């Protein structure tokens, strides 16, 4: 049952500014704003409209159960963060470490199962043959040169969860803003061409949204300005895109799932703290990896599985394990222990995916506003900057007694953003990934072209989205169609996704679980992610068209599901969804291969507001 | 009871129970590895006590709920952003360690000081609530000691239900062995109730209650007094986590008997 169909009395409260989502962008916004809200004599520098005499009333609603349950292993130049905190002391932030050395490493295929084009197989053979004169070590080639646009010489390594906790503790201690975790926001309140506030998600409902006797309708939060920082799959941001326009349909080709672990490295590990290793080439050419060494022998590591990896059973978890087991990485990881695990969707379209950034009563910041830079491999600092710039604009408007109209936000926030380094670098990067739509080599070439020519040269975009190949096409010459049919039949009868069986059949070795670092996917959820889902909310993943699910031959939503929360339904129709395993990565939203009959630009999965998810503050 | 109760809920904070905990020696004694990195929650048993207190206060006009918490101020503030949405209360914070590697008498003394400092607290209306046990490394004896300090001799532990009779007396269900309850009746306040899980579900998050609570929580935190709490004179012979062996298997719709049989087999191995 939707909000619209319920006839209920909703409570209302009025604030000056309501923020949606506590990510790095909102953290930047609230920090910058709170530094200016009070005068040194204790009087409000900016007076509240809804509570005259008091400072601006600013609230932030976050879906996750804690302000620190974010996911990202961050290497960043931290230009914007350092501007906000000029006296930043890394010792104050758990796990924060200065970058000391960087490696860019090409990983050869030590197994022979990787789906490599001929030129990569040739490259592997050549590198092995010349290993005595090349910087070769354990099936890997350390590149002697790292392009300047990728380097993070003066950068920082952060755990986003720990950074969030650190920022939030200062914000809360100031008493000037309120951050409410465990409070999902369902939708924006739109009147005409203006946003008037947000509506919180209903509580006391069954999984399908039917009110129970403890029904508590989501409250309406009326606000002069709604700051939308709910990330790339947030329901408020997507609703605003529907209403006010946004990124083009090509956004379906501009995603990735980032899956990561935080690991206690073994005592014999010799990697110095501050080490940054970026990898490419394995386990599949399309998959990139990272390993960052924090202080105290803790590492953050993971892979990115992009939407242009045209594998109908692409799955991040199994590939992550094969990546860790690569000899070049395993030499450092063997004997390590899993501390934390998580996954998230990354909106990699950057400026090309930029939605309408402002409107009457709203402004968008952070990753959902297209701030991620895929050329420099950076997003957190960029997101922070968008929030800081919006705060500057808000302060200016509020001090002048001006409203948060589209016109006023255009003259302030938009002007600041367009004049910032964020915009300059986003423009350079906007076409950097086009080459990957044509292939791996052209992708690397395209990145280099865009990077070295400051965006003047780049590959053209493909006009139409790739069609996902069928299983039979993808595994041609490796697994016979009859075997695929048998595996599909057996797995679907058990409600299992196919990737494990198919990868094993295609030559990937079984993972040798050690119950410390190499653990089952479910143990990663329980030990690393500690995933939780409160009852009383409706399910947040909906399969809108069971007939399309029935006809779907690949069920990529289940294959790519980061937490195995979505599984094929043995009885056909809609897949099963178990929200107690959902990490809210949102991969189902863009991995669904079925278009809505009424809107081909949308997939047949709806991803709504929901509570819970990861319970780890170290990611 | 028309005049209402003064319900004082003692509740510490603990690392979110889902986190991986590892005891380590620190310069100041035993602690948890990366303790300040771990997200915290209100001690789960004490949280149930709070829900029961809020429920009782709602049914008994004129009642007031105080939440007395000894914890590092910054962590407590973070926890309050979740707890404050659940029930209306007045926070009485005491800034100090919540590691659990502390001495129960010292903790009880700090809580006693804080409770005695609550303006207008009426002993004749006092219900002292807390957790029957603790998810911290505490000895589980703090509430009893505190009760004795407050000279409250009607003490009940493992409470699952407290009902107010028409004559104002309290009927209390305490857990006893065999899954049964012992039923007791006492004439009324002052009384100590160490709650087990109770019967109430966790209340939904109510932003209006949260914002209302926050008006008093923030000033209270800013004025929180620091308590010197440690483990002086206490010797920890050894500290270790329970051994755990984990095996995960995902099965849908298994029957309860089948699950029980399999667990038994697994334990016997």
CA angle at A67 for the pair A536 and A366, rounded to the nearest 5°: 105
| Alpha carbons A160 and B37: distance in angstroms, whole number | 12
Euclidean distance between the first and final Cα of chain B, in Å? Answer: 56
Query: In the predicted model, what is the mean pLDDT of chain A?
Result: 92
| Alpha carbons A322 and A277: distance in angstroms, whole number | 17
Residues A308-360: pLDDT tens digits? Answer: 898 999 999 999 999 999 999 999 999 999 999 999 999 988 888 899 999 99
Could you say which of B81, B206, B248 has the minimum Cβ distance to residue A172?
B81
What's the average model confidence in pLDDT over A132-138?
Answer: 96
| Alpha carbons A286 and A292: distance in angstroms, whole number | 20
| Alpha carbons A96 and A164: distance in angstroms, whole number | 12
For residue A120, the distance in angstroms to the closest alpha carbon of chain B comes to 38
For residue A534, the distance in angstroms to the closest alpha carbon of chain B comes to 10
C-alpha A565: how far from its chain's center?
17
Tell me: pLDDT of A515 over 70: yes
Closest chain A residue by Cα to residue B213: A178
Closest chain B residue by Cα to residue A173: B74
Are A526 and B81 inside 8 Å of each other by CB? no
Are A165 and B39 inside 8 Å of each other by CB? yes
Query: In the predicted model, what is the mean pLDDT of chain B?
Result: 88
| Alpha carbons B77 and B98: distance in angstroms, whole number | 13
| Alpha carbons B85 and B97: distance in angstroms, whole number | 24
Could you say which of B18, B214, B222 has the minimum Cβ distance to residue A530?
B18
Q: Say how many residues make up chain A.
A: 619
For residue B149, the distance in angstroms to the closest alpha carbon of chain A comes to 33
Interface test mutation site (partner A, options B21, B201, B205, max chain A beta carbons within 10 A): B205
Cβ-Cβ contacts under 8 Å for A356 (sequence gap 6 or more): A240, A241, A244, A245, A246, A364
User: Any idea where the domains of chain B sit in the sequence?
Assistant: 6-237
CA angle at B254 for the pair B253 and B256, rounded to the nearest 5°: 120
Strand residue runs (E) in A91-218: 97-98, 101-107, 140-142, 156-159, 177-180, 185-191, 194-200, 203-205, 211-216
The pLDDT, as a whole number, for residue B24 is 84
The dihedral built from the CA positions of residue A25, A30, A32 and A33, taken in this order, carries a sign that is positive
For residue A200, the distance in angstroms to the closest alpha carbon of chain B comes to 9
Cβ-Cβ contacts under 8 Å for A253 (sequence gap 6 or more): A307, A308, A437, A462, A465, A466
pLDDT confidence tier of residue A512, bands split at 50, 70 and 90 = very high
Stretch (H or E) spanning B12: none
Residues paired with residue A278 on neighbouring β-strands, in sequence order: A104, A290
Looking at beta carbons, which residues of chain B come within 8 Å of A182?
Answer: 82, 85, 205
| Alpha carbons B3 and B60: distance in angstroms, whole number | 8
What's the average model confidence in pLDDT over A201-207?
Answer: 94
Residues A205-222: pLDDT tens digits? Answer: 999 999 998 899 999 999
CA angle at A19 for the pair A47 and A65, rounded to the nearest 5°: 130
Are B82 and A95 inside 8 Å of each other by CB? no
Q: How many residue pairs bridge chain A and chain B with CB atoms within 8 Å of each other? A: 98
Q: Which residue has the higher pLDDT, A462 or A97?
A: A97
| Global pTM value | 0.92
Stretch (H or E) spanning A337: strand A337-347
Tell me: pLDDT of A3 over 50: no
Closest chain A residue by Cα to residue B18: A530
Task: Express as a percent the part of chain A with pLDDT over 90.
Answer: 79
Interface test mutation site (partner A, options B207, B219, B222, max chain A beta carbons within 10 A): B207
Are B207 and A200 inside 8 Å of each other by CB? yes
Are A178 and B211 inside 8 Å of each other by CB? yes
The answer to whether the beta carbons of residues A566 and A499 sit under 8 Å apart is no
Could you say which of A65, A182, A219 has the minimum Cβ distance to residue B208?
A219
Nearest to B91 by CA among B121, B68, B107: B68
Interface test mutation site (partner A, options B18, B24, B36, max chain A beta carbons within 10 A): B18
Q: How many CA atoms, within 13 angstroms, populate the side-chain half-sphere of residue A194?
A: 15
Tokens of B99: 């590691």
Could you say which of A204, A219, A520 has the minimum Cβ distance to residue B248?
A520
Tell me: pLDDT of A250 over 70: no
The pLDDT, as a whole number, for residue B231 is 66
Q: Per CB distance under 8 Å, which residues of B are interface residues toward A?
A: 16, 18-20, 34, 36-39, 74, 77-78, 81-82, 85, 201-202, 204-208, 210-211, 214, 218, 222, 246, 248-250, 252
Nearest to A4 by CA among A202, A234, A228: A202
For residue B239, the distance in angstroms to the closest alpha carbon of chain A comes to 20
Residues B246-267: pLDDT tens digits? Answer: 666 767 678 889 889 988 998 8
The pLDDT, as a whole number, for residue A4 is 46
- Structural domains in chain A plus CATH codes: 14-88+160-248+351-428 (3.50.50.60), 97-159+251-350 (3.30.9.90), 471-509+541-607 (no CATH)
Residues paired with residue A260 on neighbouring β-strands, in sequence order: A302, A342
The pLDDT, as a whole number, for residue A2 is 40
Are B246 and A564 inside 8 Å of each other by CB? no
Looking at beta carbons, which residues of chain B come within 8 Å of A202?
Answer: none
For residue A123, the distance in angstroms to the closest alpha carbon of chain B comes to 41
Are A69 and B218 inside 8 Å of each other by CB? no
Task: Express as a percent the part of chain A with pLDDT over 70.
Answer: 97
Could you say which of B16, B77, B201 has the minimum Cβ distance to residue A172?
B77
What's the average model confidence in pLDDT over A57-76?
Answer: 92
Percentages (nearest 5) of helix, strand, coil residues in chain A = 30, 25, 45
What's the average model confidence in pLDDT over A570-575?
Answer: 92
What are the angstrom distances between the C-alpha of A384 and each of A229, A374, A414, A598?
Answer: 10, 16, 15, 37
Are A180 and B205 inside 8 Å of each other by CB? yes
Tokens of A37: 């809200």
| Alpha carbons A146 and A104: distance in angstroms, whole number | 6
For residue B216, the distance in angstroms to the closest alpha carbon of chain A comes to 11
Looking at beta carbons, which residues of chain B come within 8 Å of A536?
Answer: 204
| Alpha carbons A160 and A262: distance in angstroms, whole number | 12
Residues paired with residue B14 on neighbouring β-strands, in sequence order: B41
Closest chain B residue by Cα to residue A525: B248
Stretch (H or E) spanning A453: none
| Greatest CA separation for chain B | 59
For residue B73, the distance in angstroms to the closest alpha carbon of chain A comes to 9
For residue A395, the distance in angstroms to the closest alpha carbon of chain B comes to 23
Residue with token string 């996704």: A497
Could you say which of A178, A183, A617 has the minimum Cβ distance to residue B214?
A178
Quick one: fold of B6-237? Answer: Rossmann fold (3.40.50)
């Amino acid at each position: 049952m939707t909000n619209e169909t319920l006839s209920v009395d909703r409570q209302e409260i009025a604030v000056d500014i309501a923020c949606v989502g506590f990510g790095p962008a909102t953290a930047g916004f609230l920090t910058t704003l709170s530094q200016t809200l009070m005068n040194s004599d204790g009087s409000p520098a900016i007076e509240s409209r809804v509570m005259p005499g008091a400072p601006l009333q600013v609230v932030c609603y976050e879906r996750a159960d804690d302000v620190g349950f974010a996911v990202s292993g961050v290497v960043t130049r931290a230009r914007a963060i350092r501007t906000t905190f000029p006296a930043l002391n890394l010792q104050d932030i758990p796990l924060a470490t200065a970058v000391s050395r960087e490696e860019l490493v090409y990983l050869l295929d030590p197994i022979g199962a990787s789906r490599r084009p001929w030129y990569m197989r040739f490259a592997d053979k050549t590198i092995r043959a010349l290993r005595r004169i090349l910087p070769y070590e354990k099936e890997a080639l350390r590149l002697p040169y790292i392009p300047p646009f990728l380097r993070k010489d003066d950068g920082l390594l952060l755990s986003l969860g720990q950074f969030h906790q650190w920022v939030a503790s200062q914000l809360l201690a100031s008493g000037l803003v309120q951050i409410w975790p465990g409070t999902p926001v369902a939708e924006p309140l739109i009147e005409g061409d203006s946003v008037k506030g947000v509506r919180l998600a209903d509580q006391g409902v069954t999984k399908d949204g039917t009110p129970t006797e403890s029904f508590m309708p989501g409250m309406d939060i009326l606000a002069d300005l709604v700051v939308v920082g709910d990330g790339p799959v947030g329901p408020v941001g997507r609703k605003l895109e529907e209403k006010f326009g946004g990124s083009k349909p090509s956004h379906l080709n501009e995603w990735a799932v980032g899956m990561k672990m935080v690991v206690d490295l073994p005592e014999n590990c010799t990697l110095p703290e501050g080490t940054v290793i970026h990898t490419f080439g394995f386990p599949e050419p399309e998959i990139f990896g990272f390993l960052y060494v924090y202080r105290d022998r803790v590492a953050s590591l993971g892979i990115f599985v992009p939407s242009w990896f045209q594998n109908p059973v692409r799955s991040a978890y199994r590939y992550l394990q094969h990546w860790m087991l690569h000899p070049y990485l395993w030499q450092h990881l063997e004997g390590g222990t899993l501390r934390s695990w998580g996954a998230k969707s990354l909106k990699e379209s950057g400026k090309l995916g930029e939605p309408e950034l402002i409107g009457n009563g709203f402004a968008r910041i952070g990753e959902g506003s297209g701030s991620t830079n895929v050329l420099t491999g950076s997003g957190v600092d960029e997101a922070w900057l968008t929030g800081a710039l919006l705060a500057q604009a808000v302060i200016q408007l509020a001090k002048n007694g001006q409203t948060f109209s589209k016109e006023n936000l255009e003259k302030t926030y938009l002007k600041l953003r367009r004049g910032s380094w964020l915009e300059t670098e986003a423009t350079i990067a906007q076409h950097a990934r086009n080459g990957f739509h044509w292939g791996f080599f052209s992708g690397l070439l395209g990145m280099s072209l865009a990077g070295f020519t400051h965006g003047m040269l780049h590959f053209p975009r493909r006009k139409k989205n790739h069609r996902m190949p069928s299983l039979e096409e993808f595994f041609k010459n490796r697994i016979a169609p009859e075997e695929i049919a048998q595996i599909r039949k057996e797995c679907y009868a058990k409600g299992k996704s196919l990737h494990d069986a198919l990868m094993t059949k295609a030559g990937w070795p079984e993972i040798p679980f050690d119950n410390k670092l190499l653990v089952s996917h479910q143990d990663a959820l329980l030990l690393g992610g500690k995933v939780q889902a409160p009852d009383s909310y409706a399910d947040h993943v909906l399969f809108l068209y069971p007939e399309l699910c029935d006809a779907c031959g690949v069920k990529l939503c289940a294959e790519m599901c980061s937490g195995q929360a979505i599984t094929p339904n043995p009885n056909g129709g809609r897949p099963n969804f178990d929200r107690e395993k959902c990490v809210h990565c949102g991969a189902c939203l863009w991995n669904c291969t079925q278009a809505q009959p009424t809107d081909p630009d949308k997939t047949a999965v709806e991803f709504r507001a929901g509570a819970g998810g990861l319970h780890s503050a170290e990611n | 009871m028309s005049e209402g109760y003064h319900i004082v809920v003692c509740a510490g904070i603990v690392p979110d129970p889902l986190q991986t905990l590892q005891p380590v020696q620190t310069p100041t004694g035993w602690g948890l590895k990366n303790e300040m990195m771990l997200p915290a929650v209100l001690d789960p048993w004490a949280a149930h006590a709070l829900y029961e207190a809020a429920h009782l206060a709602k049914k008994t006009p004129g009642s007031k709920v105080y939440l007395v918490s000894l914890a590092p101020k910054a962590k407590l503030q973070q926890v309050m952003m979740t707890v404050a949405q659940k029930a209306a209360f007045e926070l009485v914070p005491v800034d100090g360690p919540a590691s659990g590697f502390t001495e129960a008498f010292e903790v009880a003394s700090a809580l006693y000081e804080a409770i005695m400092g609550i303006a207008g607290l009426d002993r004749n209306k006092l219900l002292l609530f807390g957790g029957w046990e603790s998810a911290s490394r505490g000895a589980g004896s703090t509430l009893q000691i505190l009760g004795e300090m407050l000279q409250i001799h009607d003490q009940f532990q493992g409470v699952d239900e407290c009902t107010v009779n028409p004559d104002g007396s309290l009927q209390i269900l305490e857990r006893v062995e065999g899954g049964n309850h012992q039923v007791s009746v006492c004439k009324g306040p002052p009384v100590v109730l160490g709650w087990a899980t109770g019967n109430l579900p966790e209340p939904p998050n109510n932003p209006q209650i949260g914002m209302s609570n926050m008006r008093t929580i923030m000033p209270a935190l800013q004025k929180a007094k620091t308590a010197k709490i440690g483990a002086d004179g206490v010797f920890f012979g050894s500290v270790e986590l329970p051994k755990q062996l984990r095996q995960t298997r995902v099965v849908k719709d298994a029957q309860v008997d089948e699950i029980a049989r399999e667990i038994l087999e697994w334990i016997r191995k």
